[in-house]
Amino acid sequence: MGLIPDKRTYEYLIKHALEEDIGPYDITSKAIVDTERICRAKIVAKEDIVASCLFVAKECFLTFDPNVEFLFCAKEGQELKKGEYLLEIQAKTYSVLCVERIALNFLQHLCGISTFTKRLVDKVKDLKVTIVDTRKTTPCFRVLEKYAVSIAGAKNHRFSLFDGILIKDNHIVAVGSIKRAIELCRKEAHHLLKIQVEVSNKKQIKEAIDSGADSLLLDNMVEGKDVTRLKEAVSYARSISPSILLEASGGICIDNIREVALTGIDQISCGCLTHSARSVDISLRILS
Q: Catalytic residues, which ones?
A: 101, 136, 168, 198, 219
Beta bridge partners of 69: 90
How many whole angstroms separate alpha carbon 142 and alpha carbon 288? Answer: 37
b/e sequence 22-40, b meaning 16+ C-beta within 10 Å: beeebeebeeebeeeeebb
How many whole angstroms separate alpha carbon 163 and alpha carbon 159? Answer: 7
How many whole angstroms separate alpha carbon 148 and alpha carbon 52? Answer: 6
Q: Helix crossing, 142-150 with 93-123: angle to 10°?
A: 50
Q: Helix crossing, 11-22 with 93-123: angle to 10°?
A: 130
For 38, residues 6+ apart whose C-beta sits below 8 A from its C-beta are 90, 91, 92, 93
